[in-house]
Amino acid sequence: MILSGDIGGTSTRLAWVSAVEAEDGAIRLQVERRACYASADFPTLLDVCGRFLTENPPSGTVEAAGFGVAGPTDGRSCNVTNLQWSLSASDLEASLGLPRVHLVNDFAAIGLGLAHVRAEDRLVLSARSPEDRPVLSAGGAEPQGPIALIGAGTGLGQGAVLRIGGRVVVLPSEGGHVDFAPRTDGQVALLDHLRRKYGHVSVERVVSGQGLMEIGEFLAMRDQKPQPPSAAFITENAGANPLCAEALDLFLSAYGAAAGNLALTLFATGGVYLAGGIAPRLSHLLAEPEGTFQRAFRDKGRLSSLLAAVPLVLLTSDDVALLGAAEATRSA
């Protein structure tokens, strides 16, 4: 049994994960019990673990702990991006009384978790026609093609999954911190606004929960509104409020473009998988073939037809990162 965690700027999810043998003899990981906590309510990860262990004592021997963390890590230490936590595997081992603690980038964990995710936890948003190629897996992805991972939440996570000679290789990334590249006059004006505020403007400044708030603030200032809308207000009122509708449209355009950029960078013929806390709440908009997100995803000039052939898949379960963190720990 492994204590598994998904550590983000907004939420920390903890779970017990166990390994079971499937009918085909393969080992499958499954989440037994899970809990979600507001990260800001705790001074350290150890405090969250203490709460979880009290509320959910283990039912068997705990062999290790693994945590997917939003930030770069060498497996032993990490400063969590967008959260004032510094993690040390050695300190956690000593405090939790465990022989082994492993840290892994959160989107690397998602990549490792894909093998253990149920089919019903994958929502195909777009798939190319089976006539395009003779041998295709579900959704039109090439079975051995690279997979791109991207997900907006507190920040913007990215990663990649490669299948090489029967092996799965997962590449962590900090691609959310590359420069924001505006595509429209409105996005150029937003960039100018954010540049005055922050200096360097990463794509995460726009494509994230905080980014949606920044967009709302920018539009409220432009329209001389006294109170900028929150991200939740924008998503809840986009159908009736013109400013919220414009904010959400700008956000989806930037999100789709970022996903398309990553797909081109990786030549992601295995598909682009969307994770993070925001995408499931906007699934109806992400799934529209001629909606803002998918049009921005495909809008790559001479290579637009290539992007039209790349499947888009939404991961709808929070368990994927927990399963992946446990898999990373088993394999470390």
SS3 labels along the chain: CEEEEEECCCEEEEEEEEEEECCCCCEEEEEEEEEEEEHHHCCCHHHHHHHHHHHCCCCCCCCEEEEEECCCCCCCEEECCCCCCEEEHHHHHHHHCCCCEEEEEHHHHHHHHHHHCCHHHEEEEECCCHHHCCCCCHHHCCCCCCEEEEEECCCEEEEEEEEECCEEEEEEECHHHCECCCCCHHHHHHHHHHHHHHCCCEHHHCCCHHHHHHHHHHHHHHCCCCCCCCHHHHHHHCCCCHHHHHHHHHHHHHHHHHHHHHHHHHCCCCCEEEECCCHHHHHHHHCCCCCHHHHHHHCCHHHHHHHHCCCEEEECCCHHHHHHHHHHHHHC
**Predicted confidence band of residue 184 (pLDDT cuts 50, 70, 90):** very high
Residue 30: give the domain boundaries.
2-114+319-331
Query: What's the pTM?
Result: 0.92
The answer to whether residue 97 scores a pLDDT higher than 60 is yes
Residues 108 and 126 in one domain: no
Domain count, the chain: 2
Question: What average pLDDT does the structure give for the chain?
Answer: 92
Residues 86 and 158 in one domain: no
Residues 209 and 65 in one domain: no
Residues 272 and 167 in one domain: yes
Rounded mean pLDDT, 136-145: 57
Question: What is the model's pLDDT at position 132?
Answer: 40
Residues 142 and 90 in one domain: no
Question: What is the model's pLDDT at position 108?
Answer: 96
Question: What is the model's pLDDT at position 131?
Answer: 37
Residues 267 and 239 in one domain: yes
The CATH number covering residue 128 comes to: 3.40.367.20
Question: What is the model's pLDDT at position 140?
Answer: 53
Question: What is the model's pLDDT at position 165?
Answer: 84
The answer to whether residue 129 scores a pLDDT higher than 50 is no
The answer to whether residue 138 scores a pLDDT higher than 70 is no
Question: What is the model's pLDDT at position 130?
Answer: 36
Residues 37 and 181 in one domain: no
Residues 289 and 327 in one domain: no
